[in-house]
A = this chain, B = another copy of it.
Amino acid sequence: MTDRQPTARDLARATTRTRITAAARARLTEEGPAQLSLRAVARDVGLVSSAVYRYFPSRDDLLTALLVQDYDELGAEVEEADAARDRTDVGGRWISACRAIRTWSITHPGDFALLYGSPVPGYAAPPETIEPATRATLVLVRIVIDAMTGKDLPDCRVDPVAGDPGDVVAGAVAYIRSRGIAEDAPPEAVMRTLMAWTAVFGTVSFELFGHYVGSVDDHERYFDLVVERLAADIGFAASASASD
């Protein structure tokens, strides 16, 4: 059970596995995850359909592999966009991270639909997908928390009459604490962060699924304007004029 030199067989296996998931992801661009056909994927890879069962015990396991891979890829790109900015430049980090989400999504619309579109009927994502799923979101949370450091965020632009989100977002607050990101995050800031996260993905979703047709043409600029306003609503400035 010790790690050993990978054999030719091991290497071939890894390669073929990659080719299968790559072919599956390519298919996702043209057909929904629910329509994803194991036989079609096998054909694309140049395998007979039954051979795929050497790699994935069932179609659902292939779906799970795609889910994990996609969440991880998206998460890595958002983390990278965040890390490329100076840590104190929270506005720049915010813009970069949000843009990374949109860029990955429009570059991989099929994968976006898998992650954030309608769930696949009859398929329940297993627990192993949870951690990868939170990576992109956590980047946004960390930026907001860093923006709060030393500042009394938020003056969150909310009307004093509005309800206290304290216990409504208690789950999110606890999660942030459990991940060691912050001991105590102001509920209003967490509320606004949840809203911003939702808005970012909602905006990308509406762009990709065609709901802005007739209202917005320049999706890239519109997205930047949205992202600026979301930061302002949380309580910090994020000017899109900063270079990407």
Contacts and interface: CB of A to CB of B under 8 A. Distances in A.
Contacts of A53: none
Contacts of A165: 222, 225
A228 B162 contact: yes
A206 B214 contact: no
Give the number of copies in the complex. 2
Most chain B CB within a 10 A radius of its CB, from A161, A201, A218: A161
Interface string A227-244: 011001100010111000
Interface stretch (A54-62, A78-86, A114-122): A114-122
Given A169-B222, A225-B168, A228-B159, A216 B194 contact: yes
Interface of A: 30-32, 34-35, 113, 116-122, 157-159, 161-163, 165, 167-172, 175, 191-192, 194-195, 198-199, 201-203, 205-206, 209-212, 214-218, 221-222, 224-226, 228-229, 232-233, 237, 239-241
A215 B171 contact: yes
A116 B228 CA distance: 25
A118 B212 CA distance: 14
A202 B31 CA distance: 23
Most chain B CB within a 10 A radius of its CB, from A30, A34, A210, A229: A229
